[in-house]
């Protein structure tokens, strides 16, 4: 019995060491602008039904990306964009100050986790520039489908830009 217990402890230590060395320190940061918002003159508008549909499609797209952190600026439209992903992954939202992107960039690089950051047409490209120290195109105010993926590996930082699939129009009513 003692020998079997000792053997199991040694095996667990060996397996633990294998999994500790498997992580190579690389991670992905998924930067997106909030989904479509109401254009009704309110100071802090929420998402339209179409925007809610886009947020749900985004959650499906990122569901298998081993996301550990979801960051949002403190606006209704960004929080609502993050909500379906947070719900799907059972994560808590982290709020960042959209006026202090260097602090957020530093936190993202130090945490070294796969993360999603929901921002705005002006902050999303700027955050990508801070993370990669490279040129990123500005985002038009009518653009809601760009996904910027910043991949950090031991060899450096790479950036890829994708377009999200658009939700169907009109977006069906979803019972919540």
Q: What is the pLDDT of residue 173?
A: 52
Weakest-pLDDT range from 9-13, 55-59, 86-90, 151-155 = 9-13
Domain range list for the chain: 27-163
Q: How is domain 27-163 classified at the CATH fold level?
A: Rossmann fold (3.40.50)
Q: Of 19-33, 63-77, 88-102, which gets the smallest average pLDDT?
A: 19-33
pTM of the predicted model as reported, rounded to 2 decimal places: 0.83
Residues 151-160: contacts with CB within 8 Å, 24+ apart? 151/26, 151/27, 151/28, 151/29, 152/26, 152/27, 152/28, 152/29, 152/109, 152/112, 153/24, 153/25, 153/26, 154/24, 154/25, 154/26, 157/131, 157/132, 157/133, 158/132, 159/128, 159/132, 159/134
pLDDT of residue 152 exceeding 80: yes
78 has a pLDDT exceeding 80: yes
Residue pLDDT, tens place only, 2-41:
444 333 333 444 333 333 323 678 999 999 999 999 998 8
């Amino acid at each position: 019995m003692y020998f079997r217990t000792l053997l199991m402890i040694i095996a667990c230590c060996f397996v633990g060491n294998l999994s500790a060395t498997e992580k190579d320190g690389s991670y992905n940061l998924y930067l997106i602008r909030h989904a479509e918002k109401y254009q009704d003159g309110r100071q802090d508008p929420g998402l339209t039904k179409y925007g809610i549909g886009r947020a749900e499609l985004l959650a499906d797209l990122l569901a298998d990306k081993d996301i550990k952190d979801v960051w949002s600026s403190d606006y209704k439209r960004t929080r609502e964009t993050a909500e379906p992903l947070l719900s799907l992954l059972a994560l808590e939202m982290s709020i960042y100050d959209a006026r202090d992107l260097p602090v957020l960039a530093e936190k993202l690089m130090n945490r070294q986790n796969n993360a999603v950051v929901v921002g705005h047409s002006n902050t999303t490209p700027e955050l990508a520039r801070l993370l990669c120290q490279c040129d990123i195109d500005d985002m038009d105010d009518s653009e809601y489908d760009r996904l910027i993926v910043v991949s950090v590996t031991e060899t450096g930082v790479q950036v890829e830009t994708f377009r999200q699939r658009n939700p169907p129009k009109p977006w069906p009513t979803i019972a919540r």
